[in-house]
Amino acid sequence: MQITFFGTSSGVPTRARNVSSVALRLPQRAELWLFDCGEGTQHQFLRSDLKISQLSRIFITHMHGDHIFGLMGLLASCGLAGNVERIDIYGPPGLNEYLQAASRYSHTHFSYPIKVHTVRPGIIYEDDEFSVICGPLHHRITAFGYRVAEKDRSGRFDVEKAKALKIPSGPVYGQLKRGEVVTLEDGRVINGADLCGPVEIGRKIAYCTDTVYCDGAVELAQDVDVLIHEATFAHQDADMAFQRLHSTSTMAAQTALTAGAHRLLMTHFSPRYAPGNSVELKDLLQEARAIFPNTEMAYDFMTYQVPRRRELSLPSPLSQ
């Protein structure tokens, strides 16, 4: 699981930061999932190493323009390229009507299937490897956060140990790899768990924006490996954050701390904290780290490889 930030500004783009969009690459299945799609997201795709042809799912948090104005353009380009098989889009009420109106008035016709799913709190997608849960956030309009959970996998199967036990190869190996208890033809009972390494704990990420501090974000972020959380304002501007129902750097850090997250990646920064101003983005990072030390500040095209739990003791540097 690899996270790539396509846009880390709030409201409007800046010279260095585009508006909201985050890609999640699932290399084991050659898929890309996108979270929000602000204006210019397709251009950010082209500037990255990711392949639009692998895009299969898009998750929209809410209907504000800096999170959806790039969606129609991206979908149209995917159709013209002709190399997307299908895209499922998940989002709040009104998203389907928005896309239908944009398609109708722009005379855009897609050459591939698009399915829009109106989300409600709970599990909105699940397969053999992943589940996606959505939960309510606290913003000026209906907004949802998302939690992606990779399912636990059986540990590595020890083929040499199986051979040493003279277990015949074939379908029985598959059963043992899944940790099942198998009775062999000679009467021996073999527990597959004895032939497998430690269970590989599935990775979990949460994506929470736009929102003021709320229980919904804490619930989505419980014990995640990575929490991606908005930090629009500095702590000194908390009154403005409450008025606009956005988070400060300290709110993002408190969410991560309360939820027991392992790492916090902050995003969605107000342009007011540009270099040279009385408060800069580096100050927001210091504020967050005072509460939750394992915090990083995202920037456009930053990538982060989500490690497995057994790897968390090893360094996991952010790409520069």
Residue at 317 is within a domain? no
CB of 3 closer than 8 Å to CB of 28: no
Q: In the chain, what percentage of residues exceed pLDDT 90?
A: 76
> What does pTM read for this prediction?
0.88
Categorize the per-residue pLDDT at 152 as very low, low, confident or very high, splitting at 50, 70 and 90.
Answer: confident
Share of the chain above pLDDT 70, in %: 96
Contacts of 194 (CB under 8 A, 6+ apart): none
Do 217 and 122 lie in a common domain? yes
Are residue 269 and residue 173 in the same domain, yes or no?
A: no
Residue 173 shares a structural domain with residue 36: no
Please answer whether residues 102 and 72 qualify as being in contact, where contact means their C-beta atoms are separated by less than 8 angstroms: yes
pLDDT band (50, 70, 90) for residue 82: low
pLDDT of residue 269: 98
List active site positions. 66
Whether the predicted pLDDT of 313 surpasses 50: no
CA distance 88 to 157: 35
Residues 218 and 238 in one domain: yes
Query: Tens digits of per-residue pLDDT, 189-235?
Result: 999 888 888 878 899 999 999 999 999 999 999 999 999 999 999 99
Domain that holds residue 174: 159-195
Reported as a single tens digit per residue, the pLDDT across 49-80 is: 999 999 999 999 999 999 999 999 999 998 88
pLDDT in tens, 262-299: 999 999 999 999 999 999 999 999 999 999 999 999 99
Q: Which two tokens stand for residue 22?
A: 């985050």
The total domain count for the chain is: 2
Q: How many CB atoms lie within 10 A of CB 186?
A: 8
Which element (helix H / strand E) includes 207?
strand 204-208
pLDDT at 242: 97
